[in-house]
Amino acid sequence: MSALIPVFVLLVSLAAQAVFCGDLRPYVPLLLGIAASVVLGIARGKSWRDQSKETFAAAGSVPSVLMLYLLIGPLISAWIASGTLPALILCGREIITPVTYLPVTFALMAATGTMMGSGISALGTMGIALLGVGQSMGFPLSLIAGCLGSGAFWGNAASPMSAANFLSVGVTGCSAEDYNRLVFRQLAFPFVFLLAAYAALGVFFDVSAPVQGGAFDELRALFPPRFLSFLPPLLMIVMIVFRVPTLPVFFISIITALFAGLAAGTIAPSQLPSLITDGYRYTGADMMLRAMLNRGGISSTSSILITILLAMVFGGSYQACGALGDLLTVLTKKVKSPSSLRHLAHLCCTLVMVATGSIMMTCALVGTLFAPQAKKAGLRAVDLATVIGPLAVALSPIIPWSVSGTALTNIIGLSLSGDISGLLYIPLCFTSFVIPVWLFFQRPHMPHTNTISRFKDE
């Protein structure tokens, strides 16, 4: 059980920090978890040089990940300045009612996450617009965040363009076509169930929206709806359809939004450096518009970047110490039936995801360790892959030290210092509970008799 020491240190220090300091930011607990992983590795006979080399090799995807989230802040501020997000908020306010807000938000976020292949990218685009609509209707921020995260990460889990799904297919060796078909079939019921759950919540949830006609009149005066306002999202949709990678999509969308804002006169050339660095700044007196529009910029993503760096180093150090890999290897050797092996993969995926907070590391580690045993036990590679990828993605938004959890709280504007109110979205992010439970009770395809006989003979 020594393999669980770093996780225990992380969770206990996070709980102690929350209770005694009223602070839920994961920086110090992650540093303590890294230290515990290094000490455990040394106790297991691994040198500091070997551990540091393996740690940063495992965290080798950090630069590309950091670049993606570095662009989210400028994308938000550029979309606000160009009038894109205000136009989407005004349209949403006219079309969506308080009763339909939650199910419509879930469905739109699911569609956006599926198209973009990333729940975080969906939050930084469509999510900001729907956040503004929800705030104007009087919904609490925790409920909006839960619904947004639920839809975005359902779409991420189901998307054929998801990096986690690509990795799950690669490490297990299954067919991408078989994987995509089975994932959509497995996630169809959770989608219908979640849509119905948010629809019921919308019907019974009592929203006491303040009178905000003046705020929307001012928003319309600041950003009169025009075609240029809709150009950045339309261009983004076209690029996504043609499968342009996410980084170029974000960069081109930022440039397009800036040109649209300059052409419309909503921003001046002298404001561009401040807009990109510090975000959009509304200087009026309306408090609702301040909360809605004062967003974006590179500086707004600093907490995301710090957490990503620490989380990836923690995951890398935990993998480098070798204890977790040894534990998973022992467990897989003791389980031989297809159903039992799939259930064990589910539990181990949950453990690794909670421990590392990294979707990619979870898919790579669990997939690599379970794939050989799945072949011996007669468990189809696609049945293993469709547990790992969707499960890791679904769990990610409710883990505060994960990249997805940090991005969700930061983009939505949930505070993790002072009290636990910043985590109240977790029980309202229904996808993170429904998908894991549903996947656990799915039955794998039964192998042919000759496969079982061959395994028994071995």
CB 57 within 8 A of CB 254: no
CB 426 within 8 A of CB 398: yes
CB 258 within 8 A of CB 82: yes
Q: Quote the CA–CA distance of 227 and 206 in Å, as a whole number.
A: 36
CB 406 within 8 A of CB 304: yes
Say if residue 175's pLDDT is above 50. Answer: yes
pLDDT in tens, 219-264: 888 898 888 889 999 998 888 788 788 788 889 999 999 999 999 8
Residue 412 gets the label, from left (phi > 0), alpha (psi -120 to 50) or beta, of alpha
Q: How far is CA 177 from CA 70, 109, 165, 323, in A?
A: 33, 24, 11, 35
Tell me, what amino acid is at 79?
W
Q: Quote the CA–CA distance of 162 and 181 in Å, as a whole number.
A: 14
User: According to the model, what pLDDT value does residue 451 have?
Assistant: 42
Say if residue 210's pLDDT is above 60. Answer: no
Tally Cβ neighbours within 10 Å of residue 320.
24
3-state secondary structure of 117: coil
Tell me, what amino acid is at 119?
G
Tell whether the torsion through CA atoms of 160, 166, 168 and 170 is positive or negative. positive
Say if residue 271's pLDDT is above 50. Answer: yes
Tell me, what amino acid is at 175?
S
pLDDT in tens, 361-420: 788 878 877 888 788 888 899 999 999 999 999 999 999 888 889 889 888 888 776 667
**Strand partners for 417:** 23
**152 contacts: CB under 8 Å, gap ≥ 6:** 109, 110, 112, 113, 119, 120, 122, 123, 127, 397
Closest CA to 77 of 263, 287, 250: 250
